[in-house]
A and B are shown apart, each in its own frame.
Chain A
């Protein structure tokens, strides 16, 4: 584990990032009826591990990330980070959403800097951290651009810089490349791989792209919906990462088969759901 390069070494404690998800169930109330979103989710994620969660729309995978980031604590079961129960948001955990969610009224540099608002650092150190992280995602020269002036891929890079600037123990990616074109998506996937070699944080990525999950993750978690449950956890070996290898194709077919093997009615419902979300 190579620690994330910082000038001042702002984290005194060794970087860990073990996530433990035990018996997590979550339900929404819709028109007075109880709608189960997640049921009995158990998952342990090791420090510095990269876990990809795949599943159809509406299987609860994004909800699970909301619970891990701490935006929602009305659920059963418990989620712990290095033994500490997660009860609210914390700078230990960073997240990148599908829509970049940069503040449109702040420039790229200001958007990254606002993430440091709670840190007791001098202005100079903050400016340096902002500049380093913008450089890390390849956005040097765009510090004073406003989000609407950026392409989708660049905005998502800025969002990644904002999530990384606090050196989180856990980085959550919620379909981060879902709204990008195929080429930009491939480029950003390579960048995330490169990023992994430079940071020691645990990464949990939710995606509906099975190939993306296999390429990037150490383990692929397959979820199915209504209510969301984990049906399989597939480890990805070193050969599995190579998109042209037979191992990659086997893994992909295996996981896709798992995703498709659900009752026809549920599959149709999920498709309808996906269409509605897009339409």
Chain B
């Protein structure tokens, strides 16, 4: 976004077609469309291996079918619901733990080592264990998404609060702010850019963990489950449809959140301010 804002006016003379920011942004669609066309071309050439390659026509048929039956929407809603619950739970837990570790040396010393060891295990590495403990229902899925969202937030909250400028805290003391006012209005606000970066990561990790869990568990509904079912049934169009929507939704979530972040951090003197 910052790139288009900076480059826009400078390019308007030589590339009249891309003069407006909106048109400029459409440039990002060129590559995906080219890839799809390439895919379609390959699929038509190797008709014999239609099992692995589907044409765009087959894909759009599958899309229309999934829309008509309501399956696609139900799967998307199920996945988004998991991510939302995981983000809220993981967000609250992560920010709370990160805050506790940043503000209390004792908590940092007691919890820190365990936290950093657990952190080394990839989220999806917990699936076999959680499966044995809790089965393959909704709860372990939510647990994994929550964990995925929580860990980046613990780190970013910790770092953000640890790096609050001493000058800002001193002003708070000069104004005799109560400890909780100092925390809410000074420390947390100063740490906000870092924490929001953590939320951004949490969003991405939670989405990946959600889809991954759904695929690996192979049960219930969700985009991941849809992909898994497509694979088991040898239905390439469904698999591809799922993959496309995983990407599209991730892109939409990231874009929406970035806008929210830019608005929250408009007090910062950064290049992103257009």
Q: Give residues in A with beta carbon < 8 Å to B.
A: 69, 71, 89-91, 94-95, 97, 99, 101, 103-106, 114-115, 117-118, 146-149
Contacts and interface: CB of A to CB of B under 8 A. Distances in A.
B176 A118 contact: yes
Given A105-B267, A118-B176, A146-B267, 6 more contacts: A71-B170, A101-B171, A103-B168, A104-B268, A117-B178, A148-B267
B175 A117 contact: yes
Interface string B155-192: 00000000000011011011111100100011001101
Given A71-B170, A101-B167, A103-B168, A118 B175 contact: yes
Nearest to B170: A71
Contacts of A117: 175, 177-178, 181, 185
Contacts of B173: 71, 89
Interface residues of B, number: 20
A101 B168 contact: yes
B185 A114 contact: yes
A105 B185 CA distance: 9
B269 interface: yes
Nearest to A69: B174
Interface of A is mostly: loop
Contact of B171 (A103, A147, A148): A103
Given A105-B189, A146-B266, A148-B268, A89 B176 contact: yes
Contact of B174 (A71, A99, A103, A147): A71
A114 B168 CA distance: 13
Contacts of A149: 269
A71 B172 CA distance: 11
Contact of A103 (B178, B186, B268): B186
A69 B176 CA distance: 11
Nearest to A148: B269
A10 to B, nearest CB: 16
Contacts of B178: 117-118
A99 B177 contact: no
A168 to B, nearest CB: 10
A106 B269 CA distance: 13
B39 to A, nearest CB: 47
Contacts of B181: 117
Contacts of B175: 89, 91, 114-115, 117-118
A174 to B, nearest CB: 11
Nearest to A146: B267
A80 to B, nearest CB: 19
- Among B168, B175, B178, B189, find the residue whose CB has the most chain A CB atoms closer than 10 A: B175
Nearest to A172: B174
Contacts of A91: 175-176
Contacts of B269: 104, 148-149
Interface in B228-274: 266-269
Nearest to B168: A103
Contacts of B174: 69, 71, 89, 94-95
B272 to A, nearest CB: 13
Which of B178, B266, B269 has most chain A Cβ within 10 Å?
Answer: B269
Contact of A104 (B170, B176, B267): B267
21 contacts: A69-B174, A89-B174, A89-B175, A94-B174, A97-B167, A101-B167, A101-B170, A101-B171, A103-B185, A103-B186, A103-B189, A103-B190, A104-B267, A104-B269, A114-B175, A115-B175, A118-B175, A118-B176, A118-B177, A148-B268, A148-B269
